[in-house]
Amino acid sequence: MKTNQDPSADAAELRRRAEERLQTRERTPQSPLDTERLVHELQVHQIELEMQNEELQQARAKADALLAQYTDLYDFAPTGYFNLAADGTILAVNLTGAGLLGIGRAQLLKRRLGFLVAEADRPVFNAFLEKTFAGKDRECCEVALLKAKTAPLFVRIEAVVSEDRRECRAAMLDVTDRHRAEVEQGRLVQELQAALAKVKQLSGLLPICANCKRIRNDEGYWKQIEAFIASHSEATFSHGICPECLHQLYPDQEQRIFEGIERKERQNAAATP
């Protein structure tokens, strides 16, 4: 039975035999026409290589220009872009995204974005990530991000899972101004509602005594009109006396009091610029 021979030994033997055959062949001298044709072929081949090199240089320049344009659009876009793993690990981020978080891009890579979300909003962010990787549609959430030595940053995040479902591509937009406007609007609405409630407290029929002019409150107690209005509004009172009551109660002092009032009014008028 034949044994398997070493392939390298067979190749060496074949080469040795080919070299021996080449040495035994008579070399046919080439004619000047053959030499000229060979030189022409070499020159054509050289020009072809030069043309191919020029095309490669043009293609490389075009690729570099497209890469620079892509880098400019990606890094300096008004929106932060992130590539996130299923656990929220940052695989890639543009400069805008790093600027939103206030951390260098190199320091953000391999960190989990969830740790930069405010603790109260982490359940919302985790549910958003889980839903993104579980489905195919675009998902979104709004959370607050923690930034050192600054107020929280409120952002809206939209993400869609990749075709291989190994990562998701997320866009982050700063909505802090809108959130502050909504909070301010809520505060103004509350103040307006409180003001309307106070106005309603003084609306409707008020039971007032025809003689002493006291008002009966909701508990059935009769209160001075000044005390009732002060407790149901922001109005305050200053006391004086009308001319009819002055004539009725203090007839002997009526003239002196009127003269004092007129004198005070003239002094006030003179002091006014």
Domain that holds residue 155: 75-177
Domain end among 141, 160, 177: 177
What are the pLDDT digits (tens) for 56-83? 888 888 877 777 766 667 777 788 999 9
Residue 169 — φ and ψ, nearest 5°?
A: -105, 120
Q: Output the pTM of the full model.
A: 0.50
Residue 234 inside a domain? The answer is: yes
- 3-class SS of residue 207: coil
Burial 103-137 (b: 16+ CB within 10 A, else e): bebeebeeeebbebbeeebeeebeebbeebbeeee
In DSSP notation, 140-176 reads EEEEEEP-TTS--EEEEEEEEE-TTSS-EEEEEEE-H
How far apart CA 167 and CA 128 sit, in angstroms, is 14
What are the pLDDT digits (tens) for 182-205? 888 888 888 888 777 766 555 666
Q: Provide the number of structural domains found in the chain.
A: 2
> Residue 169: which CATH number?
3.30.450.20
N residues, the chain? 273
Residue 144 — φ and ψ, nearest 5°?
A: -100, 135
Q: Which residues contact 255 (CB under 8 A, 6 or more apart)?
A: none
Q: Are 156 and 214 found together in one domain?
A: no
Residue 99 inside a domain? The answer is: yes
Q: Are 136 and 223 found together in one domain?
A: no
Residue 55 inside a domain? The answer is: no
- 3-class SS of residue 159: strand
Look at residue 2 in the predicted model and tell me its pLDDT: 47
